[in-house]
Amino acid sequence: MRIVLIAGGWSAERDVALSGARQIEQGLRDLGHTVSFFDPAQDLRGLEKAVQGQDFAFINLHGSPGEDGLVQCLLERLGVPYQGADARSSLLALNKAVSKQLFVRAGLPTPAWEFIPAGKASSWQPSLPCPLIIKPNTGGSSIGVGLVHSLADLPQALAHPALAGLDLLAEAMITGQELTCGVLEGYTLPPILIRPKAGVFFDYTSKYEVGASEEICPAPVSDELTATLQAMASAAHQALGLCDYSRTDFMVDHDGQPYVLEVNTLPGMTATSLLPQEAQTVGLSFAALLDCLITLGLRKKAWMSAQC
């Protein structure tokens, strides 16, 4: 099969996307596919030409463009199938303030939050009590995420260079265990327990620096909590109208109450990323996971033909 691998982009998560793309490309070649590469940051106008004659597009973009649905929308218009959520659901999932409203509507606990428009960040004062987590409303990889212990910390958190000009989300800090749980089209994977070795949460360094965190899969938690996390991951997946796969991040407080933080529609896809680790636990190698995602994504071909 001829596959165009779309990766890179211009978000703050560009380097993460390119790192994963190298392993995806090798995995696709090992499966016997012919792979070409396209980076929207290098030539956004070239997407139509890049997909000509291709059977499938494999997307490995984080943030915008990619997780915001822009590339998916273009691919749908061009009639090229791809893996993961469609354009509309991608947009809903990336916007934390909007996705949280859908979680609440579905009866899923999520930490209390306040939306901070970019134009009001400099004068914003929280109505939620501290401690708070400040994060980009549409970002990922924990880039720019800051902890506000008291109001005295607020100016420094809001002044972080990675937050400049962005809409933000202030979220009540939940202390306890950090876990994540993937969904692979109708099947919920075993959750992973994440233990950062420094700091108080799974920040950028903990995620991407070798040895900076301990990731245990299956998570050493009770069968009851495992089942609850899996049910909540599946419910969050459905609440956002997702398809093929996703990964939901959780905090579980000291009383054992899990809270949905966010859902990743294009989770990290290096061989050691969280969702591939979960898949490995149930017997799916990295190559087999890629093959599964292609099979699931090809179903969009019939759907896109029906829209034209």
Residue 168: which H helix or E strand, with range? strand 168-172
Out of 14, 114, 208, 291, which one is annotated catalytic? 208
Radius of gyration (C-alpha) of the chain in whole angstroms: 19
Q: Would you call 137 a catalytic residue per the annotation?
A: no
Q: Would you call 187 a catalytic residue per the annotation?
A: no
Out of 67, 86, 203, 249, which one is annotated catalytic? 249
Out of 39, 264, 273, 297, which one is annotated catalytic? 264
Q: Would you call 278 a catalytic residue per the annotation?
A: no
Out of 167, 178, 244, 262, which one is annotated catalytic? 262
The rounded distance, in Å, linking the Cα atoms of 98 and 115 is 9
Are 251 and 177 contacting, i.e. CB atoms less than 8 angstroms apart?
yes
The rounded distance, in Å, linking the Cα atoms of 149 and 266 is 31
What are the tokens at 99? 């996705």
Q: Would you call 15 a catalytic residue per the annotation?
A: no
Name every residue whose Cβ is closer than 8 Å to that of residue 216 and which is 6 or more positions away in sequence: 192, 193, 195
Out of 69, 139, 140, 268, which one is annotated catalytic? 268
How large is the angle between the packed helices 14-30 and 286-297, nearest 10 degrees? 90
Angle made by CA atoms 135, 248, 244, in degrees to the nearest 5:
125
Q: Would you call 264 a catalytic residue per the annotation?
A: yes
Out of 66, 84, 244, 247, which one is annotated catalytic? 247
Out of 13, 25, 178, 278, which one is annotated catalytic? 13
Q: Would you call 82 a catalytic residue per the annotation?
A: no
The residues assigned a catalytic role are: 13, 141, 208, 247, 249, 262, 264, 268
